[in-house]
Chain A
Amino acid sequence: MYRKISIQRDDFDVGREWSELRAALAERVGAMAAFCGLVRDQYEENRVSNLELEHYPGMTEKSIDSIIDRAGARWPLDAVVVIHRVGALAPREQIVLVLATSSHRQAALEACTFVIDLLKTEAVFWKREVLPSGARWIESTNADRQRSTDWRR
């Protein structure tokens, strides 16, 4: 299975990533699924002025690699791409891209969902929100933890 993992400060171009992956695929691939996450401008009642992402170089890549391994063991995938940004991000900026490809749509769509769900709870990143009232580290939500747990069934 082809895989690409990139942790970067710079923005990414979804169209370019999509085209590059499509060009590299085998002819049997019939489905590509994509998810792109954006920085929200609102958290609870507060307007977010900025989001800061920290990671652990070396370990973060390993944690994503392990998530892709598990996706590959579960669905017949041809490729998975994960691009995750770090540093300071403003609302509406792109923060994460997941691409998954397979022969058929169901595997590609489900694998894409699986990877983003596990990125929430198992990829080594920390998010800090800068609010008008000050900065605070974000904790994972019960809903995120539940979605991750649901995949263990």
Chain B
Amino acid sequence: MAIKVRFFAALREQVGRDVVEVRAPTSGDIAGLLANMREQLGEAVVAGLTAPNVRVALNREFVNGDCAVRDGDEVAFMPPITGG
């Protein structure tokens, strides 16, 4: 098991992939997940994900700040949305 991490729109293009499987962090939070992603994907990729306008969703719900993540969760990194 791992955490499924998804990227959308401009972030998907920056990362060059729409989904990656990341080892669940022992800390059990987004900060730990980002640390594991840094090892797996490189610093440059992760730097773009921590910009203030990037929103994070856990299992298809927006989260503000950090939150608990576990094996089997889906975390999405999303640039500003533009519907309508």
Q: A: which residues have CB within 8 A of B?
A: 37, 54, 56, 58-59, 62, 84, 95-96, 116, 119-128, 137-140, 144
Contacts and interface: CB of A to CB of B under 8 A. Distances in A.
Contacts of B35: none
Given A54-B9, A128-B9, A123 B76 contact: no
B32 interface: no
B65 interface: no
Interface string B54-70: 00010011000000000
Given A54-B8, A128-B9, A120 B82 contact: yes
Given A59-B76, A137-B79, A116 B8 contact: no
Contacts of B83: 84, 96, 119-125, 127
Contact of B82 (A56, A62, A126): A126
A125 B79 contact: no
A122 B82 CA distance: 8
A96 B84 CA distance: 6
B60 A126 contact: no
Contact of A137 (B6, B9, B60, B61): B9
A140 B80 contact: yes
B79 to A, nearest CB: 7
A56 B78 contact: yes
18 contacts: A37-B84, A54-B8, A56-B57, A59-B60, A62-B61, A119-B83, A119-B84, A120-B82, A121-B83, A123-B83, A124-B83, A125-B83, A126-B9, A126-B82, A128-B9, A140-B80, A140-B81, A140-B82
B10 interface: yes
B54 to A, nearest CB: 13
A121 B60 CA distance: 17
Most buried by B among A96, A126, A144: A126
A140 B83 CA distance: 9
A124 B9 contact: no
Nearest to B18: A54
A95 B82 CA distance: 13
Given A59-B61, A124-B78, A137-B9, 19 more contacts: A54-B9, A62-B60, A62-B61, A96-B83, A119-B83, A119-B84, A120-B82, A120-B84, A123-B81, A123-B83, A125-B84, A126-B10, A127-B83, A137-B79, A137-B82, A139-B80, A140-B81, A140-B82, A144-B84
